[in-house]
């Protein structure tokens, strides 16, 4: 892409079909995304975002998402993870032959061919992704010259592998479409959306209602008209089962995005009846189990910590049992037991490229033959008082990050790390990570806890740890260690450091989790929902009736000492 500046480059990036970023950009971007996500001390409002993840590279999509102001995890779920709580976006898939498509998927393709005859003769590439549900991602291309440099048709479709249901559609370039006369009215857009979906949903279309599209949903909703079809059963909303359908300036369907659970089970007879829906009282008892006590720092510059109860779940409690129900929408975190550590207190300062090389050696890395320079990442993408240095030798890339001139993070990469799978057990990786981490821990750090969620991208395995004080976690003091999952080599680390002066209130004087849950529910209402739960990194086909906390209306925490409700600013 030939663009004159950063802003136009990132604006054009989501539209790129074959962008292949440099390896150092992939690694730098991955590190930056994770670092930004980890360093936020306040809990952000949740953002609903639907991505077209067919053939655009992971770094390309991630860069576009980054510029939209969100920081999704871009790692594949670990196959050896002990508890598959988190379901990160996965950009990995396997290419298969068109003849390997299921009969249900072939029938759906025939319906697409009826609407778009050129698709039948177009070149097709088919990819299958297994988790959190099995789907086919299909590319359609037609080249208009022998050199295959000019594309006259380009589109993508996403189908459920089992049912063949259309889940996504993106019309990048379709020949012969003329502009529809007249400005598109709301009524016409709704009619077109329903007419398009009717062959694919049939009578099941009656289960979907037209709703307003939020500015963060779908694609290009700022510059294109869009409509949302939300599914309801028994007049109860089915979470994650929806379509966002966008219209082009020419008045045609331009894209279709769906929720992660869309069409998992279209048989309304499989949904639990709501006639005997119990009161939310039982669900209230389950809420206390997911209230997490934490130390939170007051402001960016202050060093005093306060005790807060914060909800550590997405907001779904089984209406019958009160137990938490996890879905692909869940963004909570689970941690293992405390780990006693022996801090070494080592640190090094960096003010030049030469000192950057010395800092990499300080972290145990061999830098012979590497020449470090300042990173060309724009200042507006950097954190406060943050600076980056980088070096490349052949296919090996190194990056060092400093905060207030103190070496705080490093990352090394080479192509082999993006291939294959980890082979070492989590326990061994954890032991290696702790042994590496201890020399760099501040002397005040006595215990840490490791996050249950294990992030994997190729052979790279990311383990995350949080400092504990008085048995209570301090989320803004965290440590990320990245290892080669086959050799155990440390290939990256991100460190945070305690302030010189910091105070922590006595954790023995807090109110109970039950009391915190009651305060929480005074500011959040419970309402019934249907969800498709996530188990073993797979979306289940049996829906569950749940009570959902209306978290988007009043995000906040509970003061663990006074019981006061503290809304997020």
Candidates 45, 43, 57, 50; CA nearest to 13 is 57
Band the pLDDT of 89: cuts 50, 70, 90: very low
pLDDT exceeds cutoff 60 at 33: no
Residue 536 near residue 133, CB atoms below 8 Å: no
Q: How far apart are CA 100 and CA 286, in angstroms?
A: 45
Buried b / exposed e along 197-219 (16+ C-beta atoms within 10 A): beebbeebeebbeeeebeeebbb
DSSP 477: E
Band the pLDDT of 183: cuts 50, 70, 90: low
pLDDT exceeds cutoff 90 at 267: yes
How confident is the model over 36-53, as a mean pLDDT? 33
Residues facing residue 153 across a β-bridge: 142
Q: What are the extents of the domains in the chain?
A: 93-270, 273-349+405-568
Band the pLDDT of 537: cuts 50, 70, 90: confident
pLDDT exceeds cutoff 60 at 58: no
Predicted local confidence at residue 187, as pLDDT: 85
Predicted local confidence at residue 9, as pLDDT: 45
Which residue pairs from 225-232 have beta carbons closer than 8 angstroms and sit at least 24 positions apart in sequence? Answer: 225/184, 225/189, 226/189, 227/189, 227/190, 227/193, 229/193, 229/194, 229/197, 229/205, 231/207, 231/262, 232/207, 232/208
Which among 73-82, 237-246, 278-287, 495-504 has the top mean pLDDT? 237-246
Tokens in use for 87?
């379901």
Predicted local confidence at residue 550, as pLDDT: 65
Higher pLDDT, 558 or 14: 558
pLDDT exceeds cutoff 50 at 170: yes
Percentage of the chain modeled with pLDDT above 90: 53
pLDDT exceeds cutoff 80 at 57: no
Q: Which residues contact 91 (CB under 8 A, 6 or more apart)?
A: 53, 57, 58, 61, 74, 76
Query: Which range, of 168-177, 412-421, 540-549, averages the lowest pLDDT?
Result: 168-177
Rounded (5°) CA angle 250-252-257: 125
H or E element that contains 437: helix 426-437
Q: How far apart are CA 565 and CA 425, in angstroms?
A: 42
How confident is the model over 394-413, as a mean pLDDT? 94
Percentage of the chain modeled with pLDDT above 70: 78
Predicted local confidence at residue 549, as pLDDT: 75
Q: Which residues contact 195 (CB under 8 A, 6 or more apart)?
A: none
Residues facing residue 409 across a β-bridge: 401, 494
Predicted local confidence at residue 463, as pLDDT: 95
Predicted local confidence at residue 281, as pLDDT: 80
Tell me the torsion sign for CA atoms 262, 81, 59, 156.
Answer: negative
pLDDT exceeds cutoff 60 at 390: yes
> Within a 13 Å sphere around the CA of 258, how many CA atoms are in the beta-carbon half?
20
Predicted local confidence at residue 43, as pLDDT: 35
pLDDT tens per residue across span 152-161 = 889 999 999 9
Candidates 50, 10, 395; CA nearest to 255 is 50
Q: Which residues contact 281 (CB under 8 A, 6 or more apart)?
A: none
In this prediction the pTM is 0.74
How confident is the model over 120-146, as a mean pLDDT? 92
Tokens in use for 352?
């030049």
How confident is the model over 369-374, as a mean pLDDT? 94
Tokens in use for 50?
């639907």
Band the pLDDT of 80: cuts 50, 70, 90: very low
Q: How far apart are CA 314 and CA 357, in angstroms?
A: 43
Predicted local confidence at residue 266, as pLDDT: 96
Query: Which range, of 342-351, 412-421, 445-454, 536-545, averages the lowest pLDDT?
Result: 412-421
């Amino acid at each position: 892409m030939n663009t004159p500046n950063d802003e136009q480059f990132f604006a054009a990036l989501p539209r790129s079909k074959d962008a292949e970023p440099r390896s150092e950009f992939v690694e730098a971007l991955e590190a930056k995304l994770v670092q930004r996500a980890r360093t936020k001390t306040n809990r952000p409002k949740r953002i609903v975002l639907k991505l077209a993840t067919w053939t655009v590279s992971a770094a390309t999509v991630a860069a576009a998402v980054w510029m939209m102001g969100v920081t999704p995890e871009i790692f594949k779920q670990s196959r050896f993870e002990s508890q598959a709580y988190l379901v990160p976006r996965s950009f990995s898939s396997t290419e298969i032959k068109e003849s390997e498509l299921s009969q249900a998927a072939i029938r759906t393709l025939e319906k697409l061919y009826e609407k778009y005859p050129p698709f039948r003769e177009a070149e097709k590439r088919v990819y299958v992704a297994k988790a959190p549900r099995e789907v086919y991602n299909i590319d359609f291309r037609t080249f208009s010259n022998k050199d295959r440099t000019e594309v006259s048709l380009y589109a993508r479709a996403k189908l459920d592998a089992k049912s063949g249901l259309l889940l996504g559609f993106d019309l990048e370039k379709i020949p012969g479409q003329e502009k529809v006369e007249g400005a598109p009215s709301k009524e016409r857009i709704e009619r077109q959306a329903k007419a398009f979906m009717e062959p694919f949903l049939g009578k099941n279309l009656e289960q979907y209602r037209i709703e307003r599209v939020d500015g963060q949903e779908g694609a290009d909703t700022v510059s294109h008209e869009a409509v949302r079809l939300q599914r309801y059963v028994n007049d109860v909303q089915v979470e994650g089962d929806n379509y966002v359908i966008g219209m082009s300036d020419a008045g045609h369907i331009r894209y279709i995005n769906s929720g992660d659970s869309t069409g998992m089970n279209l048989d309304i007879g499989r949904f639990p009846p709501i006639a005997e829906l119990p009161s939310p009282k039982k669900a209230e008892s389950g809420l206390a189990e997911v209230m997490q006590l934490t130390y939170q720092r007051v402001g960016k510059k202050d060093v005093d910590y306060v005790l807060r109860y914060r909800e550590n779940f997405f907001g779904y409690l089984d209406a019958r049992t009160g137990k938490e129900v996890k879905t692909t929408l869940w963004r909570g975190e689970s941690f293992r037991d405390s780990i006693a550590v022996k801090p070494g207190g080592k640190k090094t300062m960096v003010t030049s490229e030469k000192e950057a090389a010395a800092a990499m050696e300080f972290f145990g890395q061999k830098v012979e033959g590497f020449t470090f320079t300042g990173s060309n990442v724009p200042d507006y993408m950097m954190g406060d008082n943050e600076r980056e240095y980088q070096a490349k030798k052949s296919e090996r890339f190194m990056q060092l990050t400093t905060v207030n001139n103190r070496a705080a993070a490093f990352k090394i990469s080479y192509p082999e790390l993006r291939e294959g799978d980890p082979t070492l057990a989590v326990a061994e990786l954890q032991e290696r990570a702790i042994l590496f981490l201890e020399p760099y821990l501040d002397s005040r750090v006595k215990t840490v806890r490791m996050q249950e969620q294990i992030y994997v991208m190729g052979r790279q395995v990311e383990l995350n740890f949080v400092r504990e004080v008085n048995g209570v976690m301090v989320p803004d003091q965290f440590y990320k260690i990245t290892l080669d999952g086959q050799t155990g080599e440390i290939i990256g680390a991100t460190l945070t450091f305690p302030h010189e002066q910091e105070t922590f209130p006595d954790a023995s004087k807090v109110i109970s989790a039950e009391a915190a849950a009651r305060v929480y529910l005074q500011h959040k209402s419970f309402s019934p929902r249907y969800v498709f739960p996530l188990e073993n990194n797979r979306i289940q086909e049996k829906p569950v009736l749940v009570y959902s906390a209306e978290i988007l209306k009043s995000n906040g925490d509970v003061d663990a000492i006074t019981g006061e409700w503290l809304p997020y600013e």
